Structure 1
């Protein structure tokens, strides 16, 4: 069997630095991060406030640009992309799940899930078929016509997960996905991530909660803009 390290990683960061400048003041949020995440891994990124984990999430999600270093997403050099290309890669290759569900309240669950496909110019019957399949995948096949206000918090987050999955992205990026949920709903959403991981989905989860991070197979700890610990690494190590 071929070693996973011989394949193209979903995420490959090398010497990534991010500096913010305000007038004459500079702040280095990331100070040389190396990180590899292979296909099918479930990784939790943890760190205290100000550690750099949110900046790292923005870099991984192509929501922010690097100051130095390189980032390859599924083999593609993100640093060489313009804004139009970055928008396209966010829509095609990354599924986002946030603490705030970011659902449009006037649209049904089905229409909310269809949105990324509309931006991707998927039309008609195919768009509906894929959106229905995504909602069935998260256990909401009977809630297609319900608006967000008619769903519980946990159900709304499941709609958000379905929306993230509908384009079959290379990476599912979840930022504090249980932060606004009660205990029962949090467990439901985390069980869904467990199921998606078991099906081979690549998941990176940003969290400050140890109980949430423990669900992942690998925990990366960030402090002062560096990866300081990487536990449960099944394939390759991170050098900080």
Structure 2
């Protein structure tokens, strides 16, 4: 993939020894129970998980394992039934809906299987959406969106709409959008599920580069080849962590 040099986040260290000193995610006895009438399903059954700043973790497991529920909890898209979740030192369980929305917008950069780009907006306008919600002035929004697009190799496509871009390019726009707020972590849910082999490699190479610059990445995937790009795999089964695997230094 031909990209420009990715900028090191100003408030992150690219030195792994320094980055790993600070925990970004701390789950303790995390439980999630879904109830429908008299039927209860325990999707998470007491998960303990810590992810350090600068780590690159893949969460894997079969269908029904609880990995999607875990992703929703980590992304503050759903709340735990019991247990605690601290994101970048903040106890998420103590936050109201407005504060959770702000956390999602500013501290978490989401990348989904479905790109979730608005077709009527240009690439830079799609990237700038989180900044608009944060009431960043227009001039600064455009400047930061352009820089984010440039960092993923799409500086020349800023004024193109999603329909004028390939699937791989659309996902890189989504990655740029995830980066534009300088989030605490990038949370990617099956980010290569709709991509062909070449585009998949492009996006995974981009994640590798971002992590090399100190970005914290949490990747949800059912594909072993994708998960193997992470430094660490956390296997989830029946709502608990089944095992962990270190992939590389």
TM-score bucket (shorter structure): over 0.9
* Aligned alpha-carbon RMSD (Å): 1.8
Q: Distance in 2 between matches of 1:12 and 1:216?
A: 19
What SS does structure 1 have at the residue aligned with 2:128? Answer: helix
Runs of 4+ in structure 1 deviating by more than 2 angstroms, as ranges, are: 1-8
- TM-score (ref. length: structure 2): 0.91
In structure 1, what is the Cα distance between the partners aligned to 2:210 and 2:19? Answer: 22
Partner-residue secondary structure (3-state), 1:96: strand
- What residue in structure 1 maps to residue 141 of structure 2? 127
* Residues 8, 75 of structure 1: 8 Å contact kept: no
Q: Provide the residue aligned with 1:140 in structure 2.
A: 154
- Structure 2 regions of 5+ residues with no counterpart? 1-14
* Mapped pair 1:149 → 2:160: no
Correspondence 1:60 to 2:50? no
Structure 2 counterpart SS, 1:230: strand
Q: For residue 195 of structure 1, report the CA deviation from its aligned partner.
A: 0.4
Question: 38, 56, 65: which is aligned to 1:42?
Answer: 56
- Tell me the equivalent position of 2:225: 211
* Match among 105, 128, 153 for residue 119 of structure 2: 105
Contact kept, 8 Å, 1:4 with 1:38, in 2: the verdict is no
Whole-Å separation in 2 of the counterparts to 1:234 and 1:211: 14
Q: Give the direction of change, closer, same or farther, for the CA distance of 1:104–1:122 in structure 2 (3 Å limit).
A: same
Counterpart residue number, 2:5? none
Alignment match of 1:184 (pick from 192, 198, 217)? 198
CA contact (8 A) 2:20 2:53 kept: no
Question: Structure 1: where are the runs of 5+ without partners?
Answer: 236-240
Corresponding residue SS for 2:157:
coil
Quick one: distance in 2 between partners of 1:23 and 1:74?
36
| Whole-angstrom distance in 2 between the partners of 1:231 and 1:76 | 27
Q: Distance in 1 between matches of 2:18 and 2:174?
A: 30
